């Protein structure tokens, strides 16, 4: 099995708060991983550290067995960790062409990626006319332009209506079926069960469980989360 990312005793402290506490887990190629935990449990901080946008306090992470520098390795990672942000008065195609230019990648893949996320028929519409779900799908297309080894998504269905949620989950499954490894942060057990094969459960930055989604049980404190999920629906 090929290891995409290994995390060892990764810790992040903000003053006296330990947001991520000695977290260790490994991501193997071809699987769909969830980082599952309630709001404030350290999911985004973990993603931020491995993407080099948050400075770690201690511990380590290694991309692709350390065959290259983190900077080089991150060129093979697609990530959406913020709200989709594109130029409102430019079309989807124009926005993606700009991304290609900035990242120095060929623009030839734009239509293929727009098709993958179901936006080909809206490729010439201005970004500002897109719904939140469409914006999120465009962000996914953008993150896939350079055919990354792994796609990282932070709460990709937050704020979407049921149809938008369904579309995003379907797209994630499709991307996974095409062989791209996925790491998805979510506070929804339901989402992780529907989309992921493996899960890392964290609470207050501490790992409660790592393993197949099938192995989640009540001892991982998830009845509480399930109840929360239900309350949201
Ligand atoms: P999640 O993504 O699981 O909701 P976060 O990683 O965003 O959790 O946050 C984990 C904890 O770290 C929370 O208690 C949050 O308030 C805190 N935190 C996150 N970012 C900062 C920051 N820049 N400064 C101080 N505290 C932070
Ligand atoms: Mg978060």
- Section 25-53 average pLDDT: 97
pLDDT (0 to 100) of residue 116: 98
Inter-axis angle of helices 92-103 and 132-143, to 10 degrees? 30
pLDDT (0 to 100) of residue 217: 75
pLDDT (0 to 100) of residue 84: 85
pLDDT (0 to 100) of residue 124: 98
Beta strand ranges found along 127-180 (DSSP E): 150-154
214 in helix, strand or coil?
helix
pLDDT (0 to 100) of residue 233: 36
Please name which ligand lies nearest the alpha carbon of 13. 1
For ligand 1, atom 22, the nearest C-alpha belongs to 14
pLDDT (0 to 100) of residue 231: 42
pLDDT (0 to 100) of residue 215: 85
The ipTM, to two decimals, is 0.99
- Residue 26: pLDDT band (50, 70, 90) is very high
Please name which ligand lies nearest the alpha carbon of 35. 1
Pocket test for ligand 1, best of 16, 23, 37, 40 (most atoms within 8 A of CB): 40
Place of tokens 């599952």: 36
- Section 98-124 average pLDDT: 96
Atom of ligand 1 nearest to the CA of 37: 3
Q: Is the pLDDT of residue 221 over 80?
A: no
For 181, the token pair is 């490894």
Give residue 54 CA to ligand 1 midpoint distance, Å. Answer: 11
User: Closest by alpha carbon to 73, among 56, 58, 52?
Assistant: 52
Q: Is the pLDDT of residue 46 over 70?
A: yes
Q: Is the pLDDT of residue 138 over 50?
A: yes
pLDDT (0 to 100) of residue 230: 45
What mean pLDDT value characterizes the chain?
93
pLDDT (0 to 100) of residue 220: 66
Pocket of ligand 1 (CB under 6 A): 14, 17, 19, 37, 39-45
Atom of ligand 1 nearest to the CA of 187: 3
């Amino acid at each position: 099995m090929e290891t995409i990312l290994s995390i060892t005793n990764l810790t992040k402290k903000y003053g006296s708060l330990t947001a991520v506490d000695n977290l260790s887990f490994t991501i193997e190629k071809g699987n769909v991983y969830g980082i599952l935990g309630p709001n404030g449990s350290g999911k985004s901080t973990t993603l931020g550290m491995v993407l080099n946008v948050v400075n770690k306090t201690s511990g380590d992470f290694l991309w692709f067995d350390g065959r290259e520098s983190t900077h080089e390795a991150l060129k093979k990672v697609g990530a959406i960790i913020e709200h989709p942000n594109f130029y409102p008065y430019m079309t989807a195609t124009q926005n993606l062409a700009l991304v290609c230019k900035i990242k120095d990648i060929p623009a030839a893949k734009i239509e293929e990626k727009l098709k993958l996320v179901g936006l080909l028929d809206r490729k010439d519409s201005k970004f500002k006319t897109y719904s939140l779900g469409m914006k999120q799908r465009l962000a996914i297309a953008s993150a896939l332009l350079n055919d990354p080894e792994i796609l990282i998504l932070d709460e990709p269905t937050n704020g979407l209506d049921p149809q938008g949620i369904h579309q995003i989950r379907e797209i994630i499954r499709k991307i996974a079926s095409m062989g791209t490894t996925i790491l998805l942060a979510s506070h929804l057990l339901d989402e992780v069960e529907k989309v992921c094969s493996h899960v890392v459960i964290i609470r207050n930055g501490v790992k409660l469980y790592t393993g197949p989604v099938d192995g989640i049980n009540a001892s991982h404190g998830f009845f509480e989360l399930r109840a929360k999920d239900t309350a949201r629906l």
